[in-house]
Amino acid sequence: MKKYSIFSLIRNAVEFHQNWEQVWRSPDPKPAYDVIIIGGGGHGLATAHYLAKVHGITNVAVIEKNWLGGGNTGRNTTIIRSNYLWDESAAIYEKSLRLYEGLSQDLNYNIMLSQRGVMNLAHNLHDVRELQRRIYANRLNGIDSEFLSPAQIAEMVPIINTNADARFPILGASLQRRGGVARHDAIAWGFARSADNYGVDIIQQCEVTGILRDGGKVSGVETTRGTIKAPKVAIVTAGHCSVVADMAGIRLPVNSVPLQAMVTEPVKPILNCVVMSNAVHVYVSQSDKGELVLGAGIDGYNGYAQRGSLHVVEHQLASLCELFPLFSRLRIMRQWGGIVDTCPDASPIVSKTPVDGLYINCGWGTGGFKATPGSGWVFAHTIAKDEPHTLNAPFNLDRFSTGALIDEHGAAAVAH
Amino acid sequence: MLMIPCPWCGDREEAEFRNGGEAHIERPKNPDALSDEQWADYLFMSSNTKGVYLERWVHDHGCRRWFNVARNTATNVILSAYKIGQKPTKEERQ
């Protein structure tokens, strides 16, 4: 792999960008691997990267039915933060944020991490109390978090409507300064390039149609490009996790629902941090291209169609205009939907399964992007050691029968 | 937006309804006899079908009645709506 640097950029510019090397190979599947990862999104590719880098396991295939990062990795609103209430969540998301902070260097790929701050607004007394509780919980967990008064909010984001006579007055906000955004495609491509460099085979346009088992043990997968054997198989298929787990007879506590997002036409820099509001349900940031990127809640029904209903979009835009009256003059440029895998406790599952050698990483719901490197890191550990890391041990599949749920509904700084 | 055929009111827009999740999940007759795994299966596990999915809706801005819908979750095509207590036909169960 040729290193990316200012010098390689100059050299290639002189050569009119004709000689950039291919970023990853597109090999045919081998008959057998040590580990098969089903799903070539951010989480799957991160898992492959850390399997190779941390655990030295490189005889690995990542199987993707479509193209890399074409699912939720390419459809999210790219927000990164770790200000979760509960200790278990705080630990795993903070691990992820720490990995993000060094990821451009680790991958030699610019992920365009911008730690511009994530602001969560409070609109009533209860919001303020919950927010302060979360701020203190975050600080106890070593996560930066601070309270902003309406005057401080107005100073930081003057365009926000902080008038006391607003329909939903703003009484305060939490701010995580280390939070921010990153380039989502770059996460998938950077992890793919690195994993490929370690010798991982990335196989696109190949759909898994069955999971082979020998007794209670996994032995490989059936795909549209033939049978591939492996003693360890890892499912990282987000919206389609129930479909793939069903191939091994495993039922999951997951519902797949549409989540919609959109971008406006590009404008000059106007919003310098991420603003989220639970009560007036919307979250928004401005991309480096100048578009406002916004999203809100999930649609109200199960669906695999990667599209949602228009009244959900209307609600999102009404919320945006409530908070930022001047945005009412912007036009929406693109709107899309993804399928998010939601769990009853709004926390993920990164776990072994009842089938030996079969691992599952799913249930990240509406907040998986921020967890990408951390999720891959703990999942690689789980696969390599055949036991969970302390960080993901609480996020096991058994918690639904033991009752040790990690209830992040409403506690996670954003409504689900 | 889905156009949902309420068995009492006819075709109405989705915004008038609320989804009630998977249909035909029966509360166990004797919960005390269940193991933790069986109880978790009843309480949390879902079939999350890709394809024809049987679900409940309530027409809460209309007649306020509950009913069942057979909908293809991959295409959002609604095959039929039928009343609570009725069983889906074989075609709907596909």
Q: What pLDDT does A412 receive?
A: 55
Angle (CA) A58 A60 A66, round 5°: 135
- One DSSP character per residue, chain B reads --EEEETTTEEEEGGG-EEEEES-PPPPS-GGGS-HHHHHHHHT-B---SSEEEEEEE-TTTT--EEEEEEETTT--EEEEEETTPPPPHHHH-
Band of residue A415 on the pLDDT scale cut at 50, 70, 90: low
Q: What pLDDT does A206 receive?
A: 97
Picking from B21, B36, B50, the nearest residue to A243 by CB comes out as: B50
B55 contacts chain A (CB < 8 A): yes
**Model confidence over A210-261: pLDDT tens digits?**
999 998 999 999 999 999 999 999 999 999 999 999 999 999 999 999 999 9
Which residues of chain B have a CB within 8 Å of the CB of A300?
Answer: 14, 18-19
B53:A300 CB<8 A: no
Torsion angles phi and psi, residue A337, rounded to 5: -135, 155
B86 contacts chain A (CB < 8 A): no
Task: Round to whole Å and give the CA distance between A283 and A78.
Answer: 11
Mean pLDDT for A335-351 is 96
- Residue B92, pLDDT > 80, answer no
Chain B nearest C-alpha distance from A218 (Å): 22
Q: What pLDDT does A278 receive?
A: 87
B1 contacts chain A (CB < 8 A): yes
B53:A400 CB<8 A: no
Chain A nearest C-alpha distance from B30 (Å): 17
Token pair of A285 as six digits = 């940031």
B45:A300 CB<8 A: no
A253 contacts chain B (CB < 8 A): yes
Picking from B15, B37, B46, the nearest residue to A254 by CB comes out as: B46
- Residue A271, pLDDT > 80, answer yes
Task: Round to whole Å and give the CA distance between A352 and A359.
Answer: 5
Q: What pLDDT does A295 receive?
A: 93
A410 contacts chain B (CB < 8 A): no
A365 contacts chain B (CB < 8 A): no
B73:A401 CB<8 A: no
Angle (CA) A251 A253 A259, round 5°: 120
Average of per-residue pLDDT values in chain A: 95
Tell which of B48, B54, B75 to mutate to test the A interface (max A CBs under 10 Å). Answer: B48
- Residue A410, pLDDT > 90, answer no
Picking from A243, A252, A310, the nearest residue to B1 by CB comes out as: A310
Chain A, window 204-243: residues with a beta carbon less than 8 angstroms from a chain B beta carbon? 240, 242-243
Which residues of chain A have a CB within 8 Å of the CB of B60?
Answer: none
Q: What is the three-class DSSP state of A351?
A: strand
Q: What pLDDT does B88 receive?
A: 81
Angle (CA) A352 A367 A391, round 5°: 40
Band of residue B89 on the pLDDT scale cut at 50, 70, 90: confident
**Model confidence over A38-55: pLDDT tens digits?**
999 999 999 999 999 999
Band of residue A311 on the pLDDT scale cut at 50, 70, 90: very high
Picking from A255, A300, A307, the nearest residue to B18 by CB comes out as: A300
CA torsion A52-A55-A56-A57 (nearest 10°) is -70
Band of residue B94 on the pLDDT scale cut at 50, 70, 90: low
Share of chain A above pLDDT 90, in %: 95
Q: What pLDDT does A160 receive?
A: 96
Q: What pLDDT does A362 receive?
A: 97
B19:A254 CB<8 A: no
Q: What pLDDT does A1 receive?
A: 81
Mean pLDDT for A304-331 is 94
ipTM above 0.90, yes or no: yes
Which residues of chain B have a CB within 8 Å of the CB of A404?
Answer: none
Closest-CA residue to A113 (of A318, A289, A370, A380): A370
A302:B1 CB<8 A: no
Q: What pLDDT does A390 receive?
A: 98
The model carries a pTM of: 0.95
Sorted by sequence, the CB contacts under 8 Å of residue B88 that are 6+ apart come out as B24, B54, B68, B70, B80, B82
Q: What pLDDT does A213 receive?
A: 96
Instruction: Determine whether A176 is exposed, middle or buried from the number of CB atoms within 10 Å of its CB (0-12, 13-18, 19+).
Output: buried
